[in-house]
Chains A and B, each alone.
Chain A
Amino acid sequence: LAKTTQPISMDSYEGQEVNITCSHNNIATNDYITWYQQFPSQGPRFIIQGYKTKVTNEVASLFIPADRKSSTLSLPRVSLSDTAVYYCLVGVRNQGGKLIFGQGTELSVKP
């Protein structure tokens, strides 16, 4: 499974757009990129998944360049409730489901 590297922590203010970049230089052809969010005292929660270009849902957008060696999770107009740890994972979709969580990025949103 491809190893991922992301910033340990980030600070932001309410109303700002937050972009968290994840590096995955060894991503394989069949790998998908998935982001999870974890609030304190809760289990991780799926946010978004993509393979290439751009994916958008009601929560976030995921930007993936052509070489797929990195990806950027974009959270529009964050609020205090977006304070959480965000994990970037890379793995093969529908292949056993084994996911390896890295250290994640601890996002702190301030008023």
Chain B
Amino acid sequence: DAGVIQSPRHEVTEMGQEVTLRCKPISGHNSLFWYRQTMMRGLELLIYFNNNVPIDDSGMPEDRFSAKMPNASFSTLKIQPSEPRDSAVYFCASRTGSHTDTQYFGPGTRLTVL
């Protein structure tokens, strides 16, 4: 099993540009989570999906952030327009949703907005 796959691993962009982060969850997992990690704020849950449906997006910082999960094997987190304060490591995680709430994290995308 390849685990949770995220792309790109690193992204450097300029303020105002659109950024799209991608995630492929572990096959068979029906819940997907997007987190953001910074030194100042730690690891924050942004949004999560169950069976491709957004359940809780209360952690999404503002309207510039949006997330989609068009099917069980793919999700995107988009920032438009990006700002320097969005610089962080973004993690995607998935879980089976049955018998355990263990979340499996991807390697993360390090985003730098100049």
A residues adjacent to B (C-beta < 8 A)? 32, 34, 41-46, 49, 87, 91, 93-104
Interface segment, one of B12-20, B62-70, B72-80, B89-97: B89-97
A82 vs B74: C-alpha distance when bound (angstroms): 32
Cβ–Cβ contact B103 & A99, under 8 A? yes
Chain B interface, number of residues (Cβ within 8 angstroms)? 27
Cβ–Cβ contact B108 & A97, under 8 A? no
- B36-82 interface with A by 8 A CB criterion: 42-45, 48, 50, 55-56
Given contacts A43-B93, A43-B106, A44-B105, contact A97 B98 (CB under 8 A): no
**Contacts beyond the supplied A43-B91, A94-B101: 12 A-B pairs with Cβ under 8 Å:** A34-B101, A43-B105, A43-B108, A44-B91, A44-B103, A49-B101, A91-B101, A93-B100, A97-B31, A98-B48, A99-B103, A101-B45
Cβ–Cβ contact B103 & A98, under 8 A? no
Chain A residue at minimum C-beta to C-beta distance from B93: A43
Cβ–Cβ contact B56 & A94, under 8 A? no
Chain B residue at minimum C-beta to C-beta distance from A93: B101
A96 vs B79: C-alpha distance when bound (angstroms): 25
Cβ–Cβ contact A97 & B42, under 8 A? no
Cβ–Cβ contact B106 & A97, under 8 A? no
A42 vs B50: C-alpha distance when bound (angstroms): 24
Bitwise, B19-33 to A at CB < 8 A (1) or not (0) is: 000000000000101
A97 vs B95: C-alpha distance when bound (angstroms): 8
Chain B residue at minimum C-beta to C-beta distance from A42: B107
B85 within 8 A of A: no
Which residues on the B side are within 8 Å of A99 (C-beta)? Answer: 45, 101, 103
Cβ–Cβ contact B100 & A96, under 8 A? no
A96 vs B48: C-alpha distance when bound (angstroms): 9
A–B pairs, 16, beta carbons within 8 Å: A34-B101, A44-B43, A44-B93, A44-B105, A93-B101, A94-B100, A94-B101, A96-B55, A96-B56, A97-B31, A99-B101, A100-B45, A101-B35, A101-B42, A101-B43, A103-B42
A45 vs B105: C-alpha distance when bound (angstroms): 7
